[in-house]
Structure 1
């Protein structure tokens, strides 16, 4: 590992290659993937503030370009071009300065674009040298893509292995695919797609593997082929993304995330947020209405512990769906009683004493009981939370005791009712 802001050393050369293009053409360059997500950028050292381009500034600050900018650029055939493409300004699209685009290709496939905020003419020799660097970038991205596909396949095999021998083989394959990164701390993210969006993910490509893209600074990228996980293109810090059989009807999305420290889960939360945005669309439904949710495991320093981490991540995602206050991104360490409850089988029947309370006809009574127990049995706080008169609360509590046969003055009866109500959410 080199000192590269917490990024594995094998990714650091993208910044060097971008700087090389900047030096060749005498202008600051920016490298984006094929979905216009930022990978690396050169330093802009001009003292003329008017020379700063809003598109470039937004790309650096938000790590992506707008749909209008993308549409304008793609109009000039950059996805098919094999040489430099000059693109004029278009203020209505937010492009206030023309620029030069160098397509980044490998094996006939575009992997990204190098952009220059430069309207000057360059000699054929300069452009040829710059395109040679762009080709090296394409080779590097393709190399990482191949390694990432292997990481995704090995991760899924490890998380779904049914025997010790299969786990050992998958662990060895994952270690080989990750290389030096295998010894870094990792966390697993489980993203459960929306009730309707999940159908789209489940019908996606056959292998569902991920391919890591370029990294700059402290953020890595894992782009996914269009036929694998639609809508998910780049996830900061991800070592692999793959579809894995989860709980419920559809597959979940597993994201293996590199951590800078075993005690800091911020990269995992960022990855979860990115994937949630991809699978949920621009206006996702809240978790209680079937919207996407995500769960984060605790960190692990051994690949052998990833199956246990996956159980934590899937349990956290289940809890996020069941208890909106935990989601849409829930940490295993923050689940409280749900850490125990998620260990129960998903199809476990409710306790016989509590079952009558869980019918649709008694939904209001069940809610009252849960709020009452959440407030430690304090009638005044419960009545305030429910916005009802205290006498109404007492009436409902008596009905709850009649239906369940439980004495709410008894501590064990309260515990049984409380846990049964929480478990029913799962």
Structure 2
């Protein structure tokens, strides 16, 4: 867990002067070396698919396992098989730890190919990879419990003990508990179990929490939505509609702690969120907290990640992966009590019969009160816009020429989305 798989793969690539690919024992991609050859034949469909989809087909897996790679203790040369899509000879370096295969390093074979001395040096690096995979797998079986305890414990000795246990499991230093991390929330997650940590490169810990931990219950019924609209590229949200914004009973949210190389390099966390969304139910969203060093603010990071995921569900233009730093007013709105009812002045407007008025009012406020821009985005005449806005004022008793009244209405409509 304290190493960097990409660095080790790059080391093997340099030793053997060929791009290497690291997969786990289930043929899931972990890391791959840069491919800078101008020879298109240096790639084949199997390697391309592995890199693009991060996995191999069952048929390809069975083909390679037929050469005894799961039992091998040294390099295995595998001949090309064009009928199977394997156009190039390969060298497989089994990654083992204490006699157990945990993964494979793959290289496209060349002529004359790597020497025995080069392969021996590469196998030594593969052993280091095996140690890291074993440490990560061992920690992954325990960290779900400790990680969940940190995110759910009240402040006090129980929280301090959970953080201490998580710190011990992760190890210290910049590549462990003291290094840069980012929290990710994916909701709704389809099961109560977190995926194995080894299946998600860069993940330090994963756990599931009740879906309500990341989703606020709807404050009140709201109008049904019409077609999406945009105003100058800013607003592509549906009118506020609380239907479906809360996960069904029994669903969960997935929390992921992702290691980063630096606080200003969030790409590993974003990649993890994108990959997890492919395994989640349709309509799931993800949120990422601001990166932090160490474990002292994990609960705050979880609130940020969960709030960003909620914001992505409420405002589709922010998703499907939203970063806390980019959700604007939802940073404040998601901190409000979850059972907070709509402001009494806005309640009459939220009747389903006024869906067009809600849509018009929100888009008008999103556009900074610019009538011509709003009318163009809605595809209506400006006089029609003025009529609708007057109806909004009649229903709410608010004066849209007053800044505070406009702020109240704007925040109330955004809150209704949550």
Both proteins in one fold, TM over 0.5: yes
Q: CA deviation at 1:313?
A: 0.8
Contact 1:159-1:310 at 8 Å conserved across structures: yes
Task: Structure 2 unaligned segments of length 5 or more: list them.
Answer: 216-246
Contact 2:348 2:395 in 1 (8 A): yes
Is residue 2:353 matched to residue 1:361?
Answer: yes
Q: Secondary structure at the match of 1:95?
A: coil
Residue in structure 2 matched with residue 299 of structure 1 by the alignment:
291
Q: Deviations over 1:321-350 (max 9, x none)?
A: 111121111111222111110011233221
- Give the 3-state SS of the residue equivalent to 1:239 in structure 2: strand
Is 1:351 the equivalent of 2:339? no
- Which residue of 201, 208, 211 maps to 1:243? 208
Residues 389 and 43 of structure 1, relative CA distance in 2, 3 Å threshold: closer
Which residue of structure 2 lines up, in the alignment, with residue 277 of structure 1?
278
| 1:22-72 deviation digits (Å, cap 9, x = unpaired) | 87xx98764311343444568999x995872425753786483553xx522
Q: Deviations over 1:185-207 (max 9, x none)?
A: 222111113xxxx4x323x4xxx
Matched residue, 2:86 = 95
Please point out which of 53, 58, 62 is paired with 1:74: 62
Change (3 A) 1:109 1:366: farther
Q: C-alpha separation between the residues in 2 aligned to 1:390 and 1:416?
A: 24
When residues 210 and 165 of structure 1 are mapped into structure 2, their CA distance, relative to the original with a 3 A threshold, is: farther
Aligned residues: 375
Q: Please report the TM-score for the alignment, with normalisation by the length of structure 1.
A: 0.74
Decide whether aligned partners of structure 1 residues 308 and 86 sit closer, same or farther in structure 2, where only a CA change above 3 A counts.
Answer: same
Q: C-alpha separation between the residues in 2 aligned to 1:15 and 1:354?
A: 58
2:321 counterpart residue number:
329
1:142 aligns with 2:134: yes
Aligned twin of 2:227? none
| 8 Å contact from structure 2 (residues 287, 305) kept in 1 | yes
Indicate which of 374, 389, 395 corresponds to 1:382: 374
How far apart are residue 113 of structure 1 and its match?
A: 2.4
Structure 1 residues 12 and 391: alpha-carbon distance in aligned structure 2, compared to 1, 3 A threshold: closer
Cα distance change, pair 392–161 in 1 and its aligned pair in 2 (3 A) = same
C-alpha distance in 2, partners of 1:377/1:128? 70
Corresponding position: 1:113 with 2:101: no
Aligned-residue offset at 1:396: 1.1
Alpha-carbon offset, residue 296 of structure 1 = 1.3
CA distance in 1, matches of 2:161, 2:43: 51
- Secondary structure at the counterpart of residue 304 of structure 1: coil
CA separation in 2, counterparts of 1:238 and 1:173? Answer: 17
Give deviations 1:128-176, integer Å, cap 9, x for gaps: 9999987775455223211233333322110111241111011101111
Is residue 184 from structure 1 mapped to residue 174 from structure 2 by the alignment?
A: no
| Cα distance between partner residues in 2 of 1:144 and 1:398 | 62
Aligned position for 1:219: none
TM superposition shift of 1:402: 2.0
**Matching residue of 2:222:** none
Say whether the 8 Å CA contact 2:349–2:357 is kept in structure 1: yes
Distance 2:19 2:401 in 1: 72
Measured against aligned partners, the alpha-carbon deviations of 1:283-321 in whole angstroms (never above 9, x if no partner) come to xx5xxxxx1211111122231211011111111111111
What residue in structure 2 maps to residue 227 of structure 1?
A: none
For 2:113 and 2:399, how far apart are their aligned partners in 1?
85
Q: Partner of 1:252 in structure 2? A: 253
1:214 paired residue number = none
Could you say which residue in structure 2 is the equivalent of 1:419? 411
Give distance in 2, aligned partners of 1:378 and 1:99: 63
Query: What CA deviation, in whole Å up to 9, does each residue of 1:267-293 have, x standing for no partner?
Result: 32222222223325xxxx5xxxxx121
Distance of 1:353 and 1:93 partners within structure 2: 68
- Relative to structure 1, is the Cα distance of residues 155 and 346 closer, same or farther in structure 2, using a 3 angstrom cutoff? same
Conserved 8 A contact 1:149-1:209: no
Could you tell me how far apart the structure 2 residues matched to 1:145 and 1:44 are? Answer: 29
State the match for 1:229 in structure 2: none
Q: Tell me the equivalent position of 2:42.
A: 52
Alpha-carbon distance in structure 2 between the residues aligned to 1:316 and 1:152: 22
Cα deviation for residue 407 of structure 1 reads 2.1
Compared CA separation, residues 258 and 352, structure 1 to 2 (3 A): same
In the alignment, the residues of structure 2 paired with residue 331 and residue 50 of structure 1 have an alpha-carbon distance, to the nearest angstrom, of 38
Q: Given the superposition, is the C-alpha separation of residues 103 and 302 from structure 1 closer, same or farther in structure 2, using an over 3 Å criterion?
A: closer
Give yes or no for contact 2:184–2:287 (8 Å, CA) kept in 1: yes
State whether structure 2 residue 59 is matched by structure 1 residue 64: no
Structure 1 position 261, deviation (Å):
2.4
